[in-house]
Amino acid sequence: MVMKRWLWIFILFLALITTATVCLPVYAVTSEDIDEKQEELDEIEKRQREERSNLEQRLNREAALEEEVKQLEAHLDELREEQKKLEAEIGVVEQEISVAEEELAEAEEDLREQEDLLNLRLKAIQQYGVVAYVEVLFDSASFSDFLTRLYNLSIIASNDLRLIEEIQEERNVIQTWKDELEEKKAGLENMHQQVAANEKEMERAAADREIILGELQDEITKTLGAIANLEEEAQRIESNIQDMIAELESQFSGVEGDLYWPVESPTSITSGYGWRRDPFSGNQAWHGGVDIAPHHGEANYILAAERGEVIYSGWNGGYGNCIMIDHGGGTVTLYAHMSTLSVKKGDIVEKGQRIARAGTTGYSTGVHLHFEVREFKKTPVRSFPSGNPDHRFNPMDYF
């Protein structure tokens, strides 16, 4: 009897445990969990803003370095041109010095000959004296002969005086040539010194240029690293969107018909879908959307391309102010770089509804909308360098 009673107690205990187990609620995502994830997202976005600021500083420094390199190259060109002019002037001066030396040698030779003639004349005067000239006159046979001799003696005396004057003048000419030659030599030496100084300056400028180019290469490497981080960021967004779509039971059936043009007119397409030259690094990069710019940089309204639910609204790293709308069927549209946002996460928007204003936030070079269409239930159009699928399709195929 006692055994039966304990048996019934044990059966009742098992029944209670089974009932309690069945009645335990299945764990579900709560708002607190979402808030916790949002705090994590906010922290990630903060780090993204810091990285954006660092990248902007690097890009500004890169532009400054490029300008310095241009200035150095221009200065080097000026120095090379100046050096060519100096070399040409030196060549002309050297030719003039060569001619001056030849003429100086000739003048010195003429001077030596004239000095020899003068010395002979002086020796004759010294040897015979002035009396010899008087004797010559008184030895005249007639008055006519006297006049002839007197005339000849005057000519000799005049020639002696002229010879002395010519010798003095020739000496002055030679001295002038010597002075000019010395001035030209001094000028030539100064030119050589100037060329040498210019060459040293060019060497210093070239060394500075190499240093600047090295710094520029480092900055470019850092910029490319930042761009690679943006690629990874895009992949993380892809993963987040897929998780959101998997968790949410969308009330929308996908895109029906053509999409609504996402920027109020007037607009123009400034960058298409596909490969392009990156406006920051200058390298070829994949552009997963289209850039649509309002005319004259106006902050035109941004419009929802299709009816759907806003699954993201806020700052999103390189995308700046960003909105993502789930249209159901695995289709999500993304709107980036806006100046202001008019909708929040969880809002239901209608096709053509105003959701923001155009801007140039994030990695942007001017006021425009970066617009993407993502299809998560279609075969990816390509893969990221990491191998992850890229679900960004050409938006122009949806208008």
Q: Are strands 284-287 and 274-277 parallel, antiparallel or unpaired?
A: antiparallel
Q: Is position 193 within any domain?
A: yes
Q: How far apart are CA 388 and CA 242, in angstroms?
A: 13
**Number of structural domains the chain divides into:** 2
Same domain, 292 and 177: no
For every residue of 341-370, DSSP letters joined together read E---TT-EE-TT-EEEE-B--SS-SSSBEE
Q: Is position 163 within any domain?
A: yes
Q: How far apart are CA 334 and CA 321, in angstroms?
A: 11
Strand residues in 290-361 grouped as ranges (E) = 290-294, 301-303, 308-315, 321-326, 331-338, 340-341, 348-349, 354-357
Q: What is the pLDDT of residue 310?
A: 93
User: Is pTM, for the whole model, over 0.85?
Assistant: no
The tokens describing 71, both together, are: 């200035």
Residue-level pLDDT, tens digit, the chain, 399 residues? 545 555 544 554 444 444 444 333 333 333 444 455 556 666 666 666 677 677 777 677 667 767 777 787 787 788 778 777 777 877 887 777 777 777 777 777 777 776 777 677 667 666 655 545 566 666 667 767 777 766 776 777 677 667 767 777 877 887 787 788 788 878 877 887 887 787 778 778 778 877 887 887 787 787 777 666 766 776 676 676 666 655 554 567 778 889 999 999 999 999 999 998 887 777 888 899 999 999 999 999 999 999 999 999 999 988 999 999 999 888 999 999 999 999 999 899 999 999 999 999 998 989 999 999 999 889 998 988 878 888 999 999 999
Residues 6+ apart with CB under 8 A from 251: 309, 328
Same domain, 189 and 254: no
Same domain, 197 and 265: no
Q: Is position 24 within any domain?
A: no
Same domain, 350 and 261: yes
Same domain, 208 and 306: no
- Cα four-point dihedral sign 374, 377, 383, 385: positive
For 124-138, letters b (16+ CB in 10 Å) and e give eeeeeeeeeeeeeee
Same domain, 274 and 209: no
Q: What is the pLDDT of residue 246?
A: 58
Residue 184's nearest CA partner among 306, 82, 98, 303 is 98
Same domain, 218 and 78: yes
Same domain, 257 and 370: yes
Q: Is position 19 within any domain?
A: no
The tokens describing 383, both together, are: 């893969």
Q: Domain holding 332: CATH number?
A: 2.70.70.10
Q: What is the pLDDT of residue 365?
A: 87
